[in-house]
Amino acid sequence: MLLHEFRPGRLLVGLTALVLAAVYAGDAAGAWTTPWYTVIPVLSGGLGAAALTTWVAYRIRRRSARTRSSDSTGAPASSSGTQDIR
């Protein structure tokens, strides 16, 4: 059983942040030189990919929920009268 719902968009945002941190850590360590404006295309691309992934995952979840709800038999959940408001 999962503790929480899987969110692929948040995973991509986290990976983008890790990539940016690794790039600038390598620059700070002197392994390579990274221009300051590198963050703009990497961050924009990562956030755009995360938004697209989130939208696709939402559409898939919505479609699967719609098919699950149409599988009902049409009978009420309970006919014993136990759902009265007290």
Per the prediction, the chain carries an average pLDDT of 86
Which residues make Cβ contacts (< 8 Å) with residue 17, sequence separation at least 6?
46
CA pair distance 52, 46, nearest whole angstrom: 10
pLDDT tens for 22-52 read 999 999 999 999 999 999 999 999 999 999 9
Q: Phi/psi class of residue 76: alpha, beta or left (left: φ > 0; alpha: ψ in -120 to 50)?
A: beta
Is residue 75's pLDDT more than 60?
Answer: no
Is residue 80's pLDDT more than 70?
Answer: no
What pTM, to 2 d.p., does this model score? 0.70
Interval 56-74 mean pLDDT: 78
